[in-house]
Structure 1
Amino acid sequence: MNVLFFLFVGVVAGWLAGVLVKGGGFGLIGDLVVGIIGALIGGLLFGGLGGLIGGGLLGSIVVATLGAILLLVVLRVLKRA
């Protein structure tokens, strides 16, 4: 069950980040990859703020989306360089 939860959060976070940063998603697999990497980044950066952001599904999606947005912004900057 945890794997399905993680995959669901990854897809939703990747899709949201793609929409917010680029203006469109990357397809199911692309959104999943961006979301999972974003969840790892968000977990590392916001791990100490767990009580402030909240737990559960919504908190996980927020943290993963913020991490995915950060990932996409960094990738965009590196691509321009």
Structure 2
Amino acid sequence: MGTCSKDTSRLVAKRSCYTELSESAEQAKRRTEIARQYKPLSQLRKLHTHWGHVESVVGLVTKSWTIASEARNSSRQIL
């Protein structure tokens, strides 16, 4: 390290940090693309298993309860 000044070593550290962040972002992007490709497969798997069917029904019921409670709250605000 005798030939590197402090400024040079800081610059190199910043570049390596940026490179690591850039690589992490690229990996996350790839994982997201892969997950998007496999999402329809997981939905089909849910339809073909009993537990998957239960999860789907519970998800739908939960969504309808959320919508119903929001509707009730908005009607109370109007009155």
TM-score scaled by length of structure 1 = 0.32
TM-score scaled by length of structure 2 = 0.33
Greater RCO between the two (CA within 8 Å, min separation 6)? Answer: 1
